[in-house]
Amino acid sequence: MRRAVAVGAFIFAVFLAVQVAEAGAFYLHDHQSYWWYVVDTPAFSAIVPSTGQSYVERSIFGMNSLLISLKDGVVMEVHSQPGTDVEAVRSSLEARYKPLVKDVSVLSNQEITTSNNLKCLFYAYEATGADGKRVMLRSVFFQRGGYVVYMTYFLEAAKFQGDTREYWIRAVNGFEWN
């Protein structure tokens, strides 16, 4: 029995070490409403809200993600994945939610330059969600080396104001390659 507990503890410790090695790290930001989210591979930093209700890191098929649930059903995601085809990644994001939205109105699908002087693709739309409410998807896609890093924001369109709007703007303009 003692041997089984020791083996189980060892496996759990190895599992934790592997999870920590793959995950990003959170650091204090100058403003208390934000954290720096820092990832080693690919090396980047993103400013994310510190006011989330939950933070979940996961890895699926080589794509690493941070899922942040904010109040009132607002969701921010930070993804990184191998590749260089930004349009393919954008198209897959659009297709992922296509069954849930109708009457899509594309607000933007263009290259922008952030406050950190980084070029990225900005893609956003408003649509009617499966629940009948007007919804919004906002996303930015950064590409460097063999990786695409992108951030997405999902929310009811009417909620894109105040702090909720500022969280998105700060995330986009604060992104940097390390």
Maximal CA-CA distance, the chain: 62
Neighbouring CB atoms inside 10 A of 147's CB total: 19
pLDDT of 75 reads: 97
pLDDT of 29 reads: 87
Report yes or no: 9 and 46 within 8 Å, Cβ to Cβ.
no
pLDDT tens digits, 74-111: 999 999 999 999 999 999 999 999 999 999 999 999 99
Report yes or no: 51 and 42 within 8 Å, Cβ to Cβ.
no
Report yes or no: 62 and 128 within 8 Å, Cβ to Cβ.
no
How many whole angstroms separate alpha carbon 118 and alpha carbon 83? 18
Beta bridge partners of residue 37, listed in sequence order: 26, 46
Beta bridge partners of residue 26, listed in sequence order: 37
pLDDT of 28 reads: 85
What CA dihedral angle connects 45, 46, 50 and 51, to 10 degrees?
-160
Question: pTM to 2 decimals?
Answer: 0.85
pLDDT tens digits, 137-169: 999 999 999 999 999 999 999 999 999 999 999
pLDDT of 23 reads: 67
Question: Percentage of the chain with pLDDT > 70?
Answer: 87
Question: What average pLDDT does the segment 54-63 reach?
Answer: 95
